[in-house]
Amino acid sequence: QAFFCLLLCIPWGSSCPPSCQCTERAGAKAVLCSSQHLEEIPKDIPRDVVFLKLDANSITRIPSNAFKHLSHLEEIDLSRNAIEKIDRAAFRGVAAGLRTLDLSSNRIRSIPKEALLALNAKLRLANNPWHCECALQEVLWEARLDLDSVQDITCHTAPREEYVGKPLLQVLDAGANFCSVRQRTMDVAMFITMFGWFAMVIVYIICYVRHNREDSCRHGDYLRSLPSAQAPAE
């Protein structure tokens, strides 16, 4: 009886990743890999998983297409890991159906906005050593953030010292705009590039005019020398 009970409790355990527990929650498949010292996302997660818990591990990176084959995913918990890098296409394939993504309490300093703005999921990004910049500002304004944790998105580093240690929302409410700083930098770079091209055109025109003038002078000298060259023949 105990054996049959085990089969009923874990009906698809044969396809479960090592060190993980596979079960059902409200009729939906769940893979529970919490606190298993994982250093990367398992490769053999069943395709019909709906709830995926990978919290409290040692995962450092979310590579491109990490969950692409898991089209039924609705919740991913990656909190309390050591994540530092998230690729632009990390959540490709699950963007449409994902409802919750927990990335809190990691080591994330920056994140490509493309990785998150394509999601409809509610995001938890609190308690990371964020570098406050334009991409993070755009995520704050455009993504669906968990309202209970948004105040814990704090500037660990920032372009200006007075922003360090303050919640990003408070900094922005005070009038800061990290995207305008980037825009000014781009404007200056564009101005320098245009000035460089303009200077090159001017130099080219000057050289062209000078070269033509020298050719004209040589041609004039040649023409002036013709009568004197023909004088002995007469």
Q: 45 pLDDT exceeds 80?
A: yes
Contact 101, 124 (CB under 8 A): yes
> Comparing 182 with 220, which gets the higher pLDDT?
220
Residue 134: what are its φ and ψ, rounded to 5°? -60, -45
Mean pLDDT of 117-124: 93
> Comparing 31 with 96, which gets the higher pLDDT?
31
Predicted TM-score of the model (pTM): 0.72
Contact 73, 97 (CB under 8 A): yes
Contact 136, 117 (CB under 8 A): no
26: CB partners within 8 A, 6+ apart: none
At the second CATH level, the architecture of 21-177 is Alpha-Beta Horseshoe (3.80)
d(CA 95, CA 223) in angstroms, rounded, equals 79
Indicate the pLDDT class of residue 116, thresholds 50, 70 and 90: very high
Whole-number pLDDT of residue 190? 52
Work out the angle at residue 198's Cα, subtended by the Cα atoms of residues 195 and 199, and round it to the nearest 5 degrees.
85
63: CB partners within 8 A, 6+ apart: 41, 87, 90
Q: Which amino acid is at 2?
A: A
Q: Which pLDDT tens digit goes with each residue over 152-201?
A: 999 999 999 999 999 999 999 999 999 985 444 444 345 455 656 656 77
Mean pLDDT of 33-50: 96
Q: Which amino acid is at 102?
A: D
60: CB partners within 8 A, 6+ apart: 39, 40, 81, 82, 83, 84, 85, 107
Give SS3 for 192: helix
Percent of the chain with pLDDT over 70: 76
